[in-house]
C-alpha cells in the first residue's frame, strides 16, 4: 500500500470524512502547498519529525507560518530532542520528508500540536506524498492524532 492509500485508510478507520486531494503542483513546503491549494501559509499543518533523546520519534504539527521553538517542545516532552535526518523520518514514519502526514506512522510518535492552528479553518495537512493533502479542522486533527496542544513559537 502506498503512502496516500495508507493515509486514506487511516482516515476511514478513524471515522473521518476527510478526502485526500492530489495536486498537480508539489506541496513539499508550506509555501508550495498554500500556493497549490489557494489558502494561506498559516493554514498548512506542517508535520516536522524530531528525534527524542530516547530514540522515539516526536511529531510536531505546526502552522506553516510558524517557526518551531525546539526548546519548548523538549520542555513539554521532558527530554531533549534533535533534528531527524531523512533516513530516521522514513524509518519511523514510513513516509519521505515533504509528504509526512499527521497520521498513519509506522512507529507511534509523541505528538504536539501548535495552538495557533486552533484559530484557523480549514487546515490542510500532508497525505503521504508531496502532491497529496487533506482538508481538516483543528478539532479533527486533535482527535486523529491525540496530540498535546502547546505553544510552539
Q: 3-class secondary structure for the chain?
A: CCHHHHHHHHHHHCCCCCCEEECCCCCCCHHHHHHHHCCCHHHEEEEEEEEECCCCEEEEEEECCCCCCHHHHHHHHCCCEEECCHHHHHHHHCCCCCCCCCCCCCCCCEEEEEHHHHHCCCEEEECCCCCEEEEECHHHHHHHHCCEEECCC
Give me the mean pLDDT over the 122-139 stretch.
Answer: 96
Say how far apart CA 137 and CA 124 lie, in whole Å: 8
Question: Given this model, what pLDDT does residue 153 score?
Answer: 79
What pTM was computed for the model? Answer: 0.95
Tell me the three cell numbers of residue 114: 501548535
Question: Given this model, what pLDDT does residue 67 score?
Answer: 95
Tell me the three cell numbers of residue 39: 489558502
Say how far apart CA 113 and CA 142 lie, in whole Å: 8
Confidence of residue 26 (pLDDT cuts 50, 70, 90): confident
Give me the mean pLDDT over the 35-52 stretch.
Answer: 96
Tell me the three cell numbers of residue 27: 506541496
- How far, CA to CA in Å, does 73 sit from each of 69, 90, 96, 102, 134? 7, 21, 22, 16, 25
Q: What is the pLDDT of residues 82-102, one digit of tens each?
A: 999 999 999 999 999 989 999
Say how far apart CA 129 and CA 104 lie, in whole Å: 13
Confidence of residue 27 (pLDDT cuts 50, 70, 90): confident
- How far, CA to CA in Å, does 128 sit from each of 51, 104, 110, 146? 20, 9, 19, 19
Q: Supply the mean pLDDT for the chain.
A: 95
Residue 1: pLDDT above 80? no
> Which domains are present in the chain?
3-150 (3.90.960.10)
Amino acid at each position: 500500500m502506498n503512502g496516500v492509500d495508507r493515509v486514506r485508510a487511516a482516515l476511514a478507520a478513524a471515522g473521518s470524512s476527510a478526502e485526500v486531494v492530489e495536486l498537480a503542483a508539489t506541496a513539499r513546503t508550506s509555501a508550495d502547498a498554500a500556493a497549490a491549494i489557494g489558502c494561506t501559509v498559516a493554514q498548512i499543518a506542517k508535520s516536522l519529525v524530531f528525534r527524542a533523546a530516547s530514540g522515539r520519534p516526536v511529531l510536531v504539527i505546526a502552522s506553516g507560518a510558524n517557526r518551531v521553538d525546539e526548546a519548548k517542545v523538549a520542555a513539554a516532552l521532558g527530554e531533549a530532542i534533535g533534528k531527524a535526518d531523512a533516513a530516521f523520518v522514513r524509518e519511523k514514519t514510513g513516509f519521505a520528508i515533504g509528504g509526512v502526514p499527521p497520521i498513519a506512522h509506522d512507529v507511534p510518535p509523541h505528538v504536539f500540536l501548535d495552538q495557533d492552528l486552533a484559530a484557523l479553518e480549514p487546515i490542510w495537512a500532508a497525505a503521504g506524498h508531496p502532491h497529496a493533502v487533506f482538508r481538516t479542522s483543528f478539532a479533527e486533527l486533535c482527535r486523529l492524532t491525540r496530540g498535546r496542544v502547546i505553544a510552539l513559537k
